[in-house]
Amino acid sequence: MKMLFKGSEAIAEAAIRAGCRLYFGYPITPQSELTEYMSRRLPEVGGTFLQAESEVATVNMMYGASCTGKRVMTSTSSPGFSLMMEGISYMAGGELPAVFVNVVRGGPGLGDIQPAQSDYFQATKGGGHGDYRMIVLAPHTIQEAVDLMNLAFDLADKYRMLVTILADGMLGQMMEPVEFPPMRDPNDVPEKDWALTGAKGRPPRKVTSFHIDPYELEKMNLRYQATYKKVEENEVRYEELNTDGADIIVAAYGTMARIVKTVIHMAEKEGIKVGLFRPITLWPFPYKRLNELADTVDTILTVEMSYGQMLEDVRLGVNGKAKTPFYGRSAGVVPTPTEVLDAVKKAIGR
């Protein structure tokens, strides 16, 4: 049965359905509803909600809880995500699975509380220190956010990696009808042969991102890199709409992609065929498919609620084979379909 959910609430419920029973977090607009939902709902299903004293405390609670092999998550918005970066790097080094949700708002600094996509670099290119990667999933509807939560936890466990759901404030706050998958048994997850569970009757285990010997640390790093390579080979996800025979392809993710879907219809009335290329995994980015598409059109326009962040990955994918103009507004201003249509027309000289 479909129900009416706010994006933040829906992500919370979907995480619970995916077997998450441990949530640590600190409220911040525009995703406090997620934290609040967890505080009400987790006790109902025998889970633990813990409001930390800060995002720094949150991420270290995540580290500790994840070591036990349980499914753990937190959610935050941009400034809070920045505060978590040190712990995220430590967790990546410890090869700990966990799910982070960043409902992005205007930045930099304190910014504002309106929607933005300006944490793309931070999510996909590090943010914390060291050679690490996070899988980054970008839903564009609330239903998709729900559907991606199961995947997020599964990928985290499968690769022992961090997964970030990168949403913007609009997705966090808007309401849509959603259908949830059935509840998964939190104990019905694959055995974790590395988890710290008490060492009774077996040798002790260790979770760490540290080694004082550079050759040993290099070995650890090469192991991380091998994992990332596997993820790049197997976990790229994207959606294509109307790209076949398009006059122009627009690359966009999240809320921006929704707006482009409206623009496709507006452009059609003016005789312009607009295709949409929507990365669902921002890391690993779908470079290969984009490179193929660049053979089919003259122009791939990137539109963002930021000032040209995903654009850099689009250009890496296109690799000079097509023109790659850009249109974006940020800082909490959401481009209107008309503005995007104007950018489309300008890009193809109409």
Contacts to another protein by CB under 8 A: 1-6, 9, 13, 29-30, 33, 37, 40-41, 112-115, 169-170, 173-177, 258-259, 261-262, 334, 336-337
Cβ contact 304:256 at 8 Å: yes
Task: Please state the φ and ψ torsions of residue 311, each to the nearest 5 degrees.
Answer: -50, -40
The H or E element that residue 73 is part of is: strand 72-76
The H or E element that residue 167 is part of is: strand 162-168
Of 9 and 95, which has the nearer Cβ to another protein? 9
Kindly state the smallest distance separating residue 141's Cβ from another protein, in Å: 12
CA distances from 85 to 8, 88, 130, 134 (A): 22, 5, 11, 12
Cis status of the peptide bond prior to 204, with omega within 30 of 0? no
The one-letter code for the residue type at 286 is P
Alpha-carbon gap, residue 338 to 341, rounded angstroms: 5
What strands lie across the sheet with 238-241, from one edge to the other?
A: 238-241, 274-279, 248-251, 300-304, 326-328
Of 40 and 219, which has the nearer Cβ to another protein? 40
Kindly state the smallest distance separating residue 54's Cβ from another protein, in Å: 17
Of 2 and 229, which has the nearer Cβ to another protein? 2
Kindly state the smallest distance separating residue 164's Cβ from another protein, in Å: 22
Kindly state the smallest distance separating residue 76's Cβ from another protein, in Å: 15
Angle at 227 between CA 70 and CA 20, to 5 degrees: 20
Of 66 and 102, which has the nearer Cβ to another protein? 102
Kindly state the smallest distance separating residue 113's Cβ from another protein, in Å: 5
The three-state secondary structure class of 103 is strand
Of 39 and 227, which has the nearer Cβ to another protein? 39
Kindly state the smallest distance separating residue 262's Cβ from another protein, in Å: 4
Of 87 and 106, which has the nearer Cβ to another protein? 106
